[in-house]
Chains A and B, each alone.
Chain A
Amino acid sequence: MITLSINGESHTVDVEPETPLLWALRDTLGMTGTKYGCGIAQCGACTVLVDDQAMRSCQFPVSRVGKSKITTIEAIEQDEVGRKVVEAWVAQQVPQCGYCQSGQVMAATALLKETPKPTEEDILYGMSNLCRCGTYNMVAAAVRQAAA
């Protein structure tokens, strides 16, 4: 049994310690807003916040979570920065298929928490999630808007 602090609540999961946090979230806890895209930390669809840092949860075993506080897309609007990011995402009409966008919103929230006024360079490096629909320019515009 492993206890995780997720979105301000404590959850106990009965999984092997090496289980990636992604699958504990999706299958064990039924929180499917966090997406599986590649499983090898390439795409960023599974991004969550671990103590406010962006983390690719497909490569993050539950055994390493410890006392860290996890925030997922399900609670994003309860976060002040996250709420601004979501509003910018809606205003800029960012998503297309939308599958990558949970991860993009989480990555943007982490970026803006760390760097409230990001430069273009910061956006380039901070927003490295893949989008097969090619929404990169809209993502960048929304990050700029949320930072403004």
Chain B
Amino acid sequence: MNAIAPLDLSAVTPLLPQSGVANMSRRGFLGSAGALLLGVALPLGRAKAEEGAAAIPPKPGTRVPAFLEIRPDGSVKLLSPFVEGGQGINTGIAQIVGEELDVNPARFEVECAPPGPDYALVNGIRMTGGSFSTRSSYAPMRRLGATAREMMIRAAAERLGVQSSELETDDGKVVHKASGRTVGYGELAAKALLLTPKDDVVLRDPATFRYIKRPIARLDVRAKSTGKAIYAIDQKVDGMLYAAVQHAVHFGSNPTALDNEAAVKAMPGVHSIHLLPGAVAVTANSWWRARKAVEALKAQWTSPKPTGIDTIAADFSSQGMLDALKGSKSEALPAESEGDAAAAFARAAKVIEAEYDAPYLAHAQLEPPSAIARFNGDGKLEIWLPNQMPELFQATAAKTAGIQPDQVIVHSPMLGGFFGRHFMYGPSNPFQQAILLAKATGRPVKVLWSREEEFLNDALRPLSHTRFRAALGADGYPTAIEARTVGEGPIGRWFGALFNTPVDSSAVEGVVEKPYAIPNRKMEFVKLAHPVNIAFWRSVGHSMNDFFYEGFLDEIALAGGKDPFELRLALLKDKPRQKKLLQAVADLSGGWKRGPYEAEGGKRARGVSMASPFGSETATIAEVSLEDGSTRVHNIWVVIDPGSIVNPAIVKAQVESAAALGLSTALFEQVVYENGVREAKNYDAYQILRRENMPAVHVGIIESGEPMGGIGEPGLPGVPPAVVNAVAALTGQRIRSLPISKTKLSGV
């Protein structure tokens, strides 16, 4: 047995280093891309390691050789600041760069770049998330492509002995029309990329775009259709041991001893047995053997602490946590205030109130997490791991290994789904275990979590609760709305050092900043920390909060005797962008009708909702019926206005994917804790959307020309409220607690 000292938790929290990072509001962070460049948020230690001239970081997104390798055959390798996980960013970024460089994106190969300050494009930070990738990189990557093209032209001018002004380009070649001579980029690249870039290059006139805004085929589809795409789980290095782990039943307790170590050591293929912080591990010559062995281990564990946020107490339950959120008497902080809500309530003709909640959710991405760690002969650590922030994982890996960040080489393979799973969540990521085991065994080690370990140790979308009150005037229109949201969001948990604001935007987004003309608003937030490890999860706070708000807005409509669609239209009278969107989704669905109505031999009804997630706007309509007391969704119509787009086919695919996930949460998903333990360990108990639950999804795109918004997440938040509102139209039953499957619905 090989006991490894408990992890220094300072190695994993806080998420971002405090030094060198200016405090800022998330609003600034989320403002239009490039609006606010942060002090460079580099991992600790880097500045020290790079003192001297090299300590001055390049302006992210400007150094051509950091991004482009143009090969002799004219194909292009693009090192991307982002990691591909199905959202299509590799293709989108190839379209953007290819458009200006004048190379067909089909000849691009795109790889996630290693750590480095060149790639910190999201307001001075490097990350793939927040639906930021395209909107943050669109302008700099166009400029980068144009800069590189101009360097090709200059190199060709020298080679051909002509003026640059006499040259043009044509899909990877520089052309001298007058003499009919051409030179391929591949021949020019070696010289061209050494030239000093010009910073006043002219960008292409969007009217002449050939790739941007076109439904270009995604670059990785054939590899993904033939099993050739390589994910973290598929990586292998010479001499590697496979490790399987078994975590503590109660998060926060640690292994102290093993009862049957010798017997397990004698099992086939077993190499070594280890005690880790919060887990036991076995290494072996195949993962299956390691898993069999680790499951056979009988370990003694410390008892969980009775309370606290770094442990799950033995009597913790998700219901108890919800009760705590509901029962909180703490003073609230204002998250949005407008007018005089108290006065409006005093004058109200009618007051309604309701409470909404939504459960913990697992990411349940289909690829279970894994990581490989290898200490190289030169003292460097090399890691292969799924991640959305290479520099941060590099810094954390360095701390775990006790070396400097620049001694850590990070490989970021394509992700088998992420949905927010691969941020840094401390003990919910396996790479630190891989590092500790590689150190202990002196061999490269690949740690793979079984699906069961993943369901039990994933960081979760937080459970949350909001209590609403609305005042209605004699005309039935709302005059005031109040909300009290109690809980905690992942921004506060993991980026607290960076966004030092009392109100956690990721806890209240979707309840605040709605577009409706309700003159008096008092939206409040109470922070109540979860003992559970909480996560970013596709569309973050919007994933539940738009359900809360838009469900309650339907209740307001009905209390005032109004049709929910007509009420929204009336409340958007001063918001032309959202009003147009709402009308567009009604048109896409063949005209608004709430129902119930007869269709295909049964009764159906529709619900509507709106959301403003991640800089985009969406309007959603869902059509439902009841089948044996459960909800059947037939159609979902979503119109999205992301300002402007790069690839309409990818936008549609992402909106449909997000809608499917939103529906999955509306109908089925919940992580339930009972006696300090999560109940579901696999997909048999944690139900996700299956083929038989999949509706037709109809996506419309409006390009309003507003600043570019996100695409990967915004399709989600409108779906749960549209479905719940449709269920209410059909059955009269108002669902205020997800998933819907908890509620027995009666026929109509």
A residues adjacent to B (C-beta < 8 A): 15-16, 19-20, 23, 26-28, 30, 32-40, 42-43, 45, 72-74, 76-77, 86, 89-90, 93-102, 105, 124, 127-128, 130-140
Is B242 close to A, CB under 8 A? yes
Distance from B156 Cβ to chain A, minimum over Cβ atoms (Å):
35
Please encode chain B, from 197 to 238, with 1 for each CB lying within 8 Å of some chain A CB and 0 for all others. Answer: 000000000000000000001101111111111110110100
Kindly list 18 other residue pairs between chains A and B, CB separation below 8 angstroms, not including A15-B288, A32-B227.
A16-B268, A36-B451, A37-B366, A39-B452, A72-B227, A86-B225, A95-B218, A96-B657, A97-B365, A97-B418, A99-B365, A99-B416, A105-B227, A128-B691, A130-B366, A132-B661, A133-B660, A134-B656
Please encode chain B, from 140 to 173, with 1 for each CB lying within 8 Å of some chain A CB and 0 for all others. Answer: 0000000000000000000000000000000000
A130 touches B416 (CB 8 A): no
Distance from A43 Cβ to chain B, minimum over Cβ atoms (Å):
6
B residues adjacent to A (C-beta < 8 A): 85-88, 217-218, 220-231, 233-234, 236, 242, 268, 286-289, 364-368, 414-419, 448, 450-452, 649, 653-654, 656-661, 664, 682-684, 688-692, 694, 696-697
Considering the chains assembled together, what is the distance between the CA atoms of A22 and B182 in angstroms?
A: 52
B287 touches A23 (CB 8 A): yes
Considering the chains assembled together, what is the distance between the CA atoms of A115 and B147 in angstroms?
A: 54
B-chain residues with CB within 8 Å of residue A96 when the two chains form the complex: 86-88, 417, 653-654, 657
Total inter-chain residue pairs, C-beta < 8 Å: 167
Considering the chains assembled together, what is the distance between the CA atoms of A140 and B692 in angstroms?
A: 11
Q: A95-B221, A97-B416, A127-B691 are in contact. Are A74 and B227 (CB under 8 A)?
A: yes
Residue A39 contacts which of B450, B654, B659 (CB distance < 8 angstroms)? B450
Q: Is the interface of A mostly helix, strand, loop or mixed?
A: loop
A30 touches B224 (CB 8 A): no
Distance from B226 Cβ to chain A, minimum over Cβ atoms (Å):
6
Residue A27 contacts which of B225, B231, B242, B683 (CB distance < 8 angstroms)? B242
Considering the chains assembled together, what is the distance between the CA atoms of A105 and B229 in angstroms?
A: 14
Distance from A7 Cβ to chain B, minimum over Cβ atoms (Å):
11
Residue A33 contacts which of B228, B417, B697 (CB distance < 8 angstroms)? B228
Residue from B366, B684, B691 with most neighbouring chain A CB atoms (10 Å) = B366
Q: A42-B684, A130-B690, A135-B657 are in contact. Are A95 and B286 (CB under 8 A)?
A: no
B224 touches A95 (CB 8 A): yes
Which 8 pairs of residues, A with B, have the shortest CB-CB distance? A33-B227, A134-B660, A98-B224, A99-B416, A97-B86, A73-B227, A96-B86, A95-B224
Q: A134-B656, A137-B656 are in contact. Are A93 and B649 (CB under 8 A)?
A: yes
Q: A27-B287, A130-B690 are in contact. Are A97 and B85 (CB under 8 A)?
A: yes
B-chain residues with CB within 8 Å of residue A124 when the two chains form the complex: 691-692
Considering the chains assembled together, what is the distance between the CA atoms of A38 and B448 in angstroms?
A: 12
Residue from B286, B416, B653, B683 with most neighbouring chain A CB atoms (10 Å) = B416
B224 touches A137 (CB 8 A): no
Q: A27-B286, A134-B689 are in contact. Are A94 and B661 (CB under 8 A)?
A: no
A-chain residues with CB within 8 Å of residue B86 when the two chains form the complex: 95-98, 133
Considering the chains assembled together, what is the distance between the CA atoms of A135 and B414 in angstroms?
A: 18
Give the residue name and chain of the A residue nearest to B88 (CB).
A96
A-chain residues with CB within 8 Å of residue B268 when the two chains form the complex: 16
Considering the chains assembled together, what is the distance between the CA atoms of A93 and B414 in angstroms?
A: 17
Distance from B92 Cβ to chain A, minimum over Cβ atoms (Å):
13
B286 touches A98 (CB 8 A): no
B417 touches A97 (CB 8 A): yes
A-chain residues with CB within 8 Å of residue B231 when the two chains form the complex: 99
Give the residue name and chain of the B residue nearest to A136 (CB).
B694
A-chain residues with CB within 8 Å of residue B418 when the two chains form the complex: 97
Considering the chains assembled together, what is the distance between the CA atoms of A54 and B656 in angstroms?
A: 28
B657 touches A133 (CB 8 A): yes
Considering the chains assembled together, what is the distance between the CA atoms of A41 and B486 in angstroms?
A: 39
Considering the chains assembled together, what is the distance between the CA atoms of A36 and B232 in angstroms?
A: 12
B-chain residues with CB within 8 Å of residue A39 when the two chains form the complex: 450-452, 682
A-chain residues with CB within 8 Å of residue B692 when the two chains form the complex: 124
Considering the chains assembled together, what is the distance between the CA atoms of A71 and B495 in angstroms?
A: 47
Residue A132 contacts which of B221, B366, B697 (CB distance < 8 angstroms)? B366
Q: A128-B690, A134-B656, A134-B689 are in contact. Are A97 and B367 (CB under 8 A)?
A: yes
A134 touches B415 (CB 8 A): no
B366 touches A90 (CB 8 A): no
B-chain residues with CB within 8 Å of residue A15 when the two chains form the complex: 286, 288
A33 touches B226 (CB 8 A): yes
A95 touches B416 (CB 8 A): no
Residue B696 contacts which of A26, A73, A137, A138 (CB distance < 8 angstroms)? A137
Question: Can you show 7 pairs from A to B with CB atoms below 8 A apart?
Answer: A26-B287, A28-B286, A32-B227, A36-B368, A40-B683, A90-B225, A134-B660
B-chain residues with CB within 8 Å of residue A45 when the two chains form the complex: 366
Residue B236 contacts which of A23, A30, A33, A127 (CB distance < 8 angstroms)? A30
A23 touches B221 (CB 8 A): no
Considering the chains assembled together, what is the distance between the CA atoms of A33 and B226 in angstroms?
A: 8
Residue A98 contacts which of B220, B450, B682 (CB distance < 8 angstroms)? B220
Distance from A25 Cβ to chain B, minimum over Cβ atoms (Å):
11
B220 touches A95 (CB 8 A): yes
Distance from A136 Cβ to chain B, minimum over Cβ atoms (Å):
4
Considering the chains assembled together, what is the distance between the CA atoms of A42 and B688 in angstroms?
A: 11
A99 touches B367 (CB 8 A): yes
Considering the chains assembled together, what is the distance between the CA atoms of A128 and B364 in angstroms?
A: 17
A77 touches B233 (CB 8 A): no
Give the residue name and chain of the A residue nearest to B692 (CB).
A124
B657 touches A134 (CB 8 A): yes
Give the residue name and chain of the A residue nearest to B225 (CB).
A89
A-chain residues with CB within 8 Å of residue B225 when the two chains form the complex: 86, 89-90, 94-95, 98, 101, 105
B-chain residues with CB within 8 Å of residue A73 when the two chains form the complex: 226-227
Considering the chains assembled together, what is the distance between the CA atoms of A74 and B229 in angstroms?
A: 11
